[in-house]
Homo-oligomer: A and B are copies of this chain.
C-alpha cells in the first residue's frame, strides 16, 4: 500500500509518498515541498500547487491521499487562506480518482510517536527513524507530510487487523 501525505500551508505545502512493504517496513519514495512565492497572485499559487501535486501523484501513483485536519490555532483569515490550499490539494487527489483521508494532529502524533502531545522535533525524529533515513527530511513541511502518510498506513493496518479478527 502506498500513501501520499500532504501538509498544506500557505507558504510551503509539504508532500511525501510512503510505501508499506510486505515485510512491514516503511519506505519513503519521495518527499519535498511546494514553495509558494508571495509575489504571485493567490490564484497563480493555487495553480502551481495543483500542478505539482498532480505531477507527484502521476509519478508515484499512491493508493490514497492523507491530509491533516487542522482548524484550531488559526484565525479566520488564515483559515480561509489555508482552506484554499487544502481545497486544491484535495482536488488534485480526487482528479486522480483517489480518496482523501483526514487526520487530526493528535492522531498523527499518536500514530507516529505514540504520544498525542509530542513536540514537532520528536515527530521529525520518529519519521526519520521509521523510514530509515540518514537525516531529517527538509523542509520541515516534508517531514510533516511523511508523518501524515505514516499515520494513514498505521491506521489502515490497524483497521485491517481488526477486520481480519472480526471476520475470522
- Say if the beta carbon of A108 comes within 8 Å of chain B: no
Per-residue CB proximity of A87-127 to B under 8 Å, as 1/0?
Answer: 11011011100011000000000000000000000000000
Per-residue CB proximity of A75-90 to B under 8 Å, as 1/0?
Answer: 1110111111111101
The interface size of chain A toward B, counting residues with CB under 8 Å, comes to 30
Residues of B within 8 A of A85 (CB): 83, 87
Is B86 a contact partner of A80 (Cβ separation < 8 A)?
A: yes
Is A76 a contact partner of B71 (Cβ separation < 8 A)?
A: yes
Q: Which of B86, B91, B99, B100 contacts A50 (CB 8 A)?
A: B91
How many copies are assembled?
2
Task: Given A43-B99, A43-B100, A100-B42, answer yes or no on A90-B84 (Cβ-Cβ < 8 Å).
Answer: yes
- Say if the beta carbon of A46 comes within 8 Å of chain B: yes
A-B contact pairs, 29 of them (CB 8 A): A41-B94, A41-B99, A41-B100, A42-B90, A43-B94, A47-B91, A47-B94, A47-B95, A50-B91, A50-B95, A71-B80, A72-B76, A74-B80, A76-B76, A79-B83, A80-B83, A80-B86, A81-B83, A82-B83, A83-B83, A83-B84, A83-B86, A84-B84, A85-B87, A86-B87, A87-B87, A87-B88, A87-B91, A91-B91
Identify the A interface with B (CB < 8 A).
41-44, 46-47, 50, 71-72, 74-77, 79-88, 90-91, 93-95, 99-100
